[in-house]
Chains A and B, each alone.
Chain A
Amino acid sequence: MSQAAVLPQQVATRRWRRGAPARVPYVVIALYALVALIGPLVIDYDPVHTPLTDRLLAPGSQLSSGGVAWLGTDALGRDILAQVVYGARTSLTIGLATVLVACLVGVTIGVVAGYARGWLDAVLARITDVLQAFPAILLAIVIAGVFARSVPVVVLSLSVTAWISFARVTRGVALSLRERAWVDAARVMGVPVRSIIVRHVLPFTVGPVVALATLEFALVVLAEAGLSFLGIGLPTGAVSWGQTIANGQQYLETAWWISTLPGIALSLLIINMGILGDQLTARYGQRRTRS
């Protein structure tokens, strides 16, 4: 009743006011995506080239080549700004690839388990339970440590545990959906199982899965930086925030910019991803009873 008394104009302003801070994560993430896409085309960077005469320059210093190191240089004279930009691309690529792989595997297993029930569900659910018992980062370290360093290995090692949450969420959704009237109707009409899953079950998982994917993405980016920091993730030729942060570790006192600036870039992305994930979860998230 009270809503009727409020003018549409006022509602819009209130929504806008409430909405403005909520849009910040979208803007920030879009900015990162833009930098990751276009940045490397604008800024030239070769991780192999080490202009030693420019080493440990403070932000804003003049380079021997005539340019300006806006964010300073590292212990080998390489530009930090370029490393942040190229690192954004690496982080986003690995984050997207891992979430995609984890999503595909997790949703498939979750929907199959939830829809089939019975022994298949029991087996798949126990597998996810067993895997969940392992600390994710430890498993990632073992896998990344065993194989030679490369991007696919990092994606693999991070996906190995990332799919579990997707499987659990979709299984829950599928379990409740298969009892709904329209699914029953489809089954009675003789619609093949595959079509029922694709047309009547899967579309309902999209909301929670997208919300979850956002949160997982943030975790994956963080985990990748962690692996690179430990020196077991990407090959030395690749540029990664984690590597840059690790390289600057012993210069924290004398050349703070090497670790600090990529660190800020990383935390800004993670925080905004987290906020966005929370918003999406609030809107689309599946209310689950904790099991």
Chain B
Amino acid sequence: MTGFRKMTAFAAAAVLLLAGCATTTGGSGGGGDPAGGRLTAAGTYPIESLDPHGAQGATTGTQLAAQAIFSRLVRPGADGKVEGDLAEKWEPGATAAEWTFHLRSGVTFSDGKPVAAADVVASFERMMTLDGPNAANFPGYKMTAPAENEVKLTAPAPDASIPRKLGLFYVIPRTVTAQDTAFFTRPIGSGPYTVNRFAPGEVLAMSPNAKYWGDRPQLANLEIRTIPDLSARLTALRTGEVDVVWGIPDDQLPVLSETDGLTVKTVPSTAVFTMWFNSSTPALKTAEVRRALWQAVDFGTIIKQLYPRTGALADGLVAPAVLGYAKQQPVGHDPKAAKAALESAGFDFGKKLRLQFSDAEFRPFVQAVASGLAEIGVQVDVLEKEKAVFTEDLLALNWDINFQQLATPTYDAASNLGRLYTCAAKRTGYCNKDLDELLAKAGESPDEAERAELYGQAGKIIWADAVGMYPMTVQLAYSWRARVTGFTPDPSGLPDFSHVRLAGA
């Protein structure tokens, strides 16, 4: 009798457990939605906040949400060129220190109120007051509204990259104060979507904004879910619980490609694996030593083995889509020459170099690099650090070689080369007066072709002096189910769902 009771109790518990699973994993299933047109996406990073001006404003998750809910003055297009969003046209003043943006007329927020220049100015001031990471792009910048449909941004010094930098600036209603957090639980914006439900780090459910000025999105419902565990995310894609997934590691791609009903595609991102040398370390002071270390590692083989589909040998400091990209002479793998160069430079083989990095996903790559350096007798201490510690040490130059996946979300070398390689930046311990001059000139010129040319010259110096190693450009892998049509993978991991349709919906 007791045995039977136990059995029933066990069975009941099992049923409950299963039912529990069903509600948590299957509740938002895309397949059988009667209304049709519900798309579920699962990105790489969680959406912790919807406030694009706040401390989380620069994170990929918040950016992804913000571009669906809010509008910007301008936004980067698929090819990296600047497109108008709220602004119809824009032009610099006498110098690039002053930019005027003419607003599109007839744009309203989702509550029906018109978007005016005052909203844009108030949003800019809110961003500057909150002093989040995006505000750091505009130190001392002022925005004014000289007319009802015109805003003017004034920089303390000429800055030609302003239109591209403004791709990170979102407009919200002027009534929202800096400390207003309640607004962002159901925010009002002028973007293609409005928010139905938001649970930080879990789910963001949206539906089309009926008042959107552009083409109305085709999907009836768009849900962006956070599934932190990679294998769970891929399983969800295969079972149909999720329709679109991106940021998939290379080793998982063959399995997905073989699965019926899944499309796998990679797009070149703006990210480049960047491995700076700390030029203020005595051992790495000379360009000969740094170049030799670069030569010692067989990056070609490493990339072919670890990133056959999502990586390619880099031939520039920034990705080809970025303004300021210039092709450089590839550094070939030559361990013998490397060893000889190190010996003639008097390199101390007894001393260990500290190689720091942060994310576990890069561990194999970094370890393979350390293995390559070890082969010519250079000892490397591979230090995997927690994100906060890593950033602190990075800024304090508390490393010898630093690994980072460096993206250029503004598609402008100003925010990469112009920001990181000046003497004043003190980011790599490298200082070169000629380079400083070139970068300053490139930052000021309003002519894009001239800027690209100047950044190209600067890149040549950085590449030749081996301020760092620039082994690989990164491709971002996307996979989506067959019923999703019209989806374009985005190079920055911020896909736009407004043109996506669902077959049969």
Contacts and interface: CB of A to CB of B under 8 A. Distances in A.
A90 to B, nearest CB: 17
Main secondary structure of the interface of B (DSSP, over half): helix
Given A75-B364, A250-B252, A251-B251, A49 B371 contact: yes
- Contact residue range for chain B? 20 to 34
B363 interface: yes
A231 B384 contact: yes
Contact of B370 (A48, A235, A252): A48
Instruction: List the 5 closest pairs (A to B, CB-CB), nearest first.
Output: A52-B305, A50-B371, A236-B382, A50-B368, A48-B374
A236 B357 CA distance: 12
A247 B380 CA distance: 20
B443 to A, nearest CB: 39
B306 A52 contact: yes
B384 A236 contact: yes
Contacts of B255: 253-254
B367 interface: yes
A53 B382 contact: no
Contacts of A145: 386
B245 to A, nearest CB: 14
Interface in B247-263: 249, 251-252, 254-255
Contacts of B384: 231, 236
A50 B252 contact: no
A52 B368 CA distance: 8
Interface of A: 48-50, 52-53, 55-56, 75-76, 145, 231, 235-237, 246-247, 249-254
B363 A236 contact: yes
15 contacts: A48-B367, A48-B371, A49-B374, A52-B305, A52-B306, A56-B251, A75-B306, A75-B364, A76-B367, A235-B381, A236-B384, A250-B252, A253-B231, A254-B251, A254-B254
B378 to A, nearest CB: 11
A75 B371 contact: no
Contacts of A251: 251
A244 to B, nearest CB: 12
A250 B249 contact: yes
B230 interface: yes
B117 interface: no
B389 to A, nearest CB: 9
A75 B305 CA distance: 10
B239 interface: no
Contacts of A55: 305-306
B16 interface: no
Nearest to A246: B360
Nearest to A47: B367
A165 B301 CA distance: 52
B360 A231 contact: yes
Given A53-B305, A55-B305, A252 B231 contact: yes
Nearest to A255: B251
Contacts of A52: 301-302, 305-306, 368
Given A52-B302, A231-B360, A231-B384, A250 B367 contact: no
A250 B230 contact: yes
